Structures are given as structure tokens and as C-alpha cells.
Amino acid sequence: MHHRLTGQLGRVVAEYADWTDHDIQIVGSPSMIRTTTYRLMAAGVESNDIHHDPLY
């Protein structure tokens, strides 16, 4: 059975799994993209493995 994950999206995503050695595409508001990118990089994901549309 799956359990529900709650909390700030960037934190939940970064803590859910080991995302190193993956290409990651982030879609959402600019603030959500920035926060999720920060959390993933803090968890060891290389910046060149994180992709998103341009932020304005």
C-alpha cells in the first residue's frame, strides 16, 4: 500500500529517493522550480542533470 507524502514539494521530492544519475525535468511555478532545484542539488544532484523551462 502506498502512503501519502505531504509537505513542501522540493523537500518531499528530494527526500523520496536518490535522484543522482538521473535526468530530472521540473515543471511548475518559478518559485517551485527554484526551491526544488535547490533541494535536489543539496541532496547531491548535479545542476546539469536538472532541467526546466526558462525562468523569467
Residue 26: predicted pLDDT:
94
Domain boundaries of the chain, sorted by first residue: 20-56
Residue 10: predicted pLDDT:
84
Q: Which of 20, 16, 55, 48 is nearest to 34 (CA)?
A: 55
1-56 pLDDT tens trace: 677 888 888 888 888 889 999 999 999 999 999 999 999 999 999 999 999 998 87
Residue 5: predicted pLDDT:
82
**Cα gap 39→56, rounded to integer Å:** 20
